[in-house]
Structure 1
Amino acid sequence: MTSTVHDEPAIFSAGTRPKSTFAFGLSVKAVGYAAAGFAVSFAVLIFGGVIPGLALMAVMAVLLVPLVVAPNGRSLYETGQFAMQWFHRKHISRSTEYHAGPHSQIPGGRYRLPGLLATTTLHVGTDRHGNEFGMIHHPADHRYTVIVDCLPGGDEAVVRSEKDLYTADWGVYLADLGLASDIVGATVVVENIPATGLRLARLVEREMAAAAPGLSAEFVRQSSVRMPSGRHRTLARLSITFRATTRERQKEPEEMAAELARRLPDLYGNLAGAGVDAQPMTAAEIVATAHRSYNPSTENDFEELDIAGQPHGVAWEDAGPGRARTEWGHYRHDGATSVVWEMAAPPESVFTDTVLKPLLAPHDDLPRKRLTLIYRPYSAGDAAKKVEKQHRDALHAINSRGAKISSAEAEKRLEITSQARKEMVSGAGQLRYSALLTITAQDPAEVGNAAAVTESLAARARLRLRRAHGFQDAGFAAGLGLGVLLPDHITTSALVRRS
């Protein structure tokens, strides 16, 4: 008599968006504004009369509503301020267009990367294993970013138990990032680009036997050209951003390179537990990645040079586009059109480890697609404080509404924060995360269909996305994984944000 054991897939939860809930389910900020407005109105009512006091109270209530109403997670005040900033940028400062090259105002006539990457510099280091690595310096923030080229093993021939181990080890890896106080962010980029077939054709020519029959040789040559036709290559990379903690490292990139040379092998070596083979990207590879993203037409040129083992000769100062223009809902760069979405909300219920597969897999209607996951770890001390605070806020949200009328959202939030407390005791880390999704089309007429397909795939992945209106260029730069973390560049005032 035999028994069959069925491996059930592990179930995960995305957590909840951090927020502070006070009385009546409102945020602490909203309650504070309401209390201040009521106090002023009450004083006017006592000393100035009933009618002025009630009128001022009504005005305060009307002014409070746009702070409470927050479609897509942004208050109406925040949305209005952002719209005014876009109007100023579009029509007054005219900073939505970028021109580079000899006939531009760029110093030296170079083709520098635009926007948030304009002031960055690229440096070269060698780790203790002798591997060269490129290091992007963000001087304004005193931050450095290294990028690791990743080769995930895939899950087609992996049993369920190994998948669960890979997932668990990836969680441990992210938790360990919070143990280092100078790591401010990690970005995972998985992109699909059209396959050129050049590598396969070159491999066939190199391995072809000189005495091979003519018909067979011709068949293999033609197959090497036709097989990649219409196919895609999937590339993956991980970038880790560090904050320089000493004056020497802030001023001298060589000092930071020496520090990273010691630590980097452990960072990419530990990815093996998650089923990922990794090695640091060289400075030349980083330049090629940035340039072909802004100018997709150069992809074949870079691949041919890489196959031939020849340097491409492009400097970091010339890795940007010749011309780019950002619009409210898309981004034009060197003849290509890109659209960026940001994650408005994670999956609302539990999910398996394959939830993002619809977005990660190549799609015939999306020749160029890039999914970027951004992680910002808390330090061990801050993580414990954040978890306890979120748990207290969840309890308060339940109690403020009454146990009998508490909403399902409040109960779910309490359950998730309680679980987070238990996991924290067991050694789990705490981090903030977000996602960006970018598609690029050569023909602007294809953008509409590509956008519809993308939103359909996001629905299958149970992600709620919203188009990055008004900051398509910044979203595009952040999605490249070159060290740009959007939360560090917020332009709206903290006074008008929902929480």
Structure 2
Amino acid sequence: MTTTTPKDKTPGTELVPVKFSRLTRRGILLGLSLAQLIALGIAGTTLTSMLYAGGGNLILLSTPIWLPAALAAWIPVAGRPAIEWVPVAGWWAWRATGHQLIYRRRILTPRPSGSLALPGDAARLREYVDPVTGAVMIHDPTEHTLTVVCEVTHPAFILLDPAEQQRRVISWGRVLATICRSGRIAMLQVLERTLPASGTGLADWWATHGNDDGSWPSSIYAELIERAGPAAQRHATTVSLSLDLRAAARQIRTAGGGIRGAAAILRQEMNTLTAALRSADLSPTAWLDSGAIAVILRSAYDPAIAPALERHGQLGRSLATAGPVAVNESWSRIRTDSTYHAVLWVSEWPRAHVHPEFLAPVLLSTDIQRSFALLCTPMRADQAARHVRKKKTEHLSDAAQRARIGQIEDAAQTAEYADVLAQEADLTAGHGLLRYTGLISITATNPDELDAAVAAVEQAAIQASCETRRLVGQQARAFTAAALPLARRV
């Protein structure tokens, strides 16, 4: 694609549109997924066996086996073949049978020292306070990761002029390239949250800069701040850096081994990321300690308490009590303490060229309490090259197979192959390869308000040229990934 620069503009003063790679739907063989191939294999094997065993009567008697398998492979349910819902429904039934959909904190039973008071599989997380930086590092012994969190402040991107926006986009690209070159990063999570403001920010500003001289304009302004402050919303952004302990095993042994050696390696990555963020004109704060992370976790599970925690800085700053008191998970939502949540997955990013501020309708939606998590999973250069070569070979093999049987090549397959070629060109030019996952957690006080908020966010996503889908059957696990800064996977 070529671009032209207007005569009255100079290069670099206009935002350059970008395009996302399509979500591959190529499947394993002729566009069929593994589940579809298994179902069709069961149906074909049953029919062939019955045909050789006795013919018509046995085929008729085996209809309850091969017919449901064939139908499940082809009939779509909510945009996916019915057979692909079997693992989700099976896992949901298993958890329901084992009473794993309900969580209640055991107040009289103390938790193990250093563990996080979180439900589900997040209960295995452990905290480690780094003696050098004072930051708390979250250790996942199952996923073999060590995660640290920092809060980032930045000006409103949408209010900047196009030249400044383009400069910041390029700088953010360098940040992502930095984590790709490391080879030891498991994930970078960017979490943007909206929280009910306590009003202390406006009140403090008025106390410092206001002119409270007792006049009528002064009293009206003070009254407006007093009334509007608690009803306002504030935005908070955090960046979570997760170290892959298996990829950094050799360096960890060199640094002394164990969790202390891993912390030393993570500190190196923290310094590199901090420098990269500052070069991108972002303002990272100090890496968060256990008290700050405890407040974030408590506010995510019970947002109504967030203003009180902000007003009283010493409350709720213990990770041992930061989790929810009660959790009820249903098929399409989750209830924690006093609020309801639903998690949407950005299943399709814009297919056409868009400008970097395309998510503004979602991120700037008013009167909706939500969290937007962008999970960036980097691939090492050698892994990325093998991945691209494999995808390219599979596309060419499938194209040859389709040509052999007379199947027509459609536009979607051509576009996916073009994306693979573009990724190969980017890798050759020295760029990194990342996998993006977008999750949106929406919060409301009752189910009706939650459904209305979900509908509003889905409409905002349509305006942003994105497609969203509600993650059913896995809302509890999705909530920990979408609303908590722990760099968790779904």
Band of TM-score, shorter chain: 0.7 to 0.9
Instruction: Give CA deviations for 1:309-363 in whole Å, capped at 9, x if unaligned.
Output: xx33632111111111111111111111111112222223332212211111141
1:381, distance to aligned residue in structure 2 (A):
0.5
Q: CA deviation at 1:241?
A: 1.1
| Contact residue 325 and residue 333 of structure 1 kept, 8 A | yes
Aligned to 2:413: 410
Q: How far apart are 1:82 and its partner, in Å?
A: 1.8
Q: Aligned AA for 1:225?
A: E
Q: Determine whether 1:459 maps to 2:465.
A: no
- Matches of 2:174 and 2:59, distance apart in 1: 57
Aligned residues of 1:144 and 1:241 also touching (Cα < 8 A): yes
Q: Are positions 1:143 and 2:145 aligned together?
A: yes
- The whole-number CA distance in structure 1 between the counterparts of 2:305 and 2:315 is 11
Shift of 1:156: 4.0
How many Å separate the matches in 2 of 1:327 and 1:207? 49
**Are the equivalent residues in 2 in contact too, given 1:26–1:68 (CA < 8 A)?**
no
User: For 1:5, which of 9, 12, 27 is the aligned residue?
Assistant: 9
Asked if 1:282 is matched to 2:289, the reply is yes
How far, CA to CA, are the matches of 2:234 and 2:430 in structure 1?
Answer: 37
Distance in 2 (CA, whole Å) between partners of 1:150 and 1:125 is 20
Whole-angstrom CA distance in 1 between matches of 2:74 and 2:378 = 29
Structure 1 partner of 2:348: 345
Q: Is the contact between residue 244 and residue 250 of structure 1 (CA under 8 Å) also seen in structure 2? A: no
Provide closer, same or farther for how the CA distance between residues 344 and 52 of structure 1 changes in structure 2, counting only shifts above 3 A.
farther
Larger relative contact order (Cα-Cα within 8 Å, sequence gap ≥ 6): 1
User: How big is the alpha-carbon RMSD for the aligned residues of Structure 1 and Structure 2?
Assistant: 3.4
CA gap 1:111/1:166 in 2 versus in 1, 3 angstroms: closer
2:472 matched to 1:472?
no
Q: What is the rounded CA distance, in whole Å, between the counterparts of 1:73 and 1:383 in structure 2?
A: 30
| Partner SS, residue 123 of structure 1 | strand
Q: Does 1:330 align with 2:333?
A: yes
- For these two proteins, the number of residue pairs brought into alignment is 472
Please, which of 258, 264, 268 is the counterpart of residue 270 of structure 2? 264
- The code of the aligned residue for 1:5 comes to K
Aligned to 1:360: 363
**Which of 117, 120, 124 lines up with 1:115 in the alignment?**
120
Q: How much has 1:85 moved relative to structure 2?
A: 2.4
Q: Which residue of 2 aligns with 1:495?
A: none
| 213-222 or 141-150, larger mean C-alpha shift | 213-222
Distance 1:52 1:178, change over 3 A: farther
Structure 2, unmatched stretches of 5+, are 1-5
* 2:379 match: 378
C-alpha distance in structure 2 between counterparts of 1:146 and 1:297, whole Å: 26
Identical pairs, percent:
21
TM-score by length of 1: 0.83
Give the deviation of 1:289 after TM superposition: 0.4
Q: Give the superposition deviation at 1:145.
A: 0.6
Moved more, 342-351 or 191-200: 342-351
Letter in structure 2 aligned against 1:185 = M
Could you tell me how far apart the structure 1 residues matched to 2:23 and 2:173 are?
19
Aligned to 2:3: none
Any idea what SS the aligned residue of 1:387 has? helix
TM superposition shift of 1:27: 4.9
In the alignment, is the contact (CA less than 8 A) between 1:201 and 1:225 conserved in 2? yes
Contact 2:295 2:316 in 1 (8 A): no
The letter of the residue matching 2:375 is: I
Give the superposition deviation at 1:161. Answer: 2.9
**What code does the residue aligned with 1:89 have?**
R
CA distance in 1, matches of 2:326, 2:169: 41
List runs of 5+ in structure 1 lacking aligned partners: 488-499
* Counterpart Cα distance in 1 of 2:41 and 2:84: 21
Are residue 83 (structure 1) and residue 89 (structure 2) matched?
yes
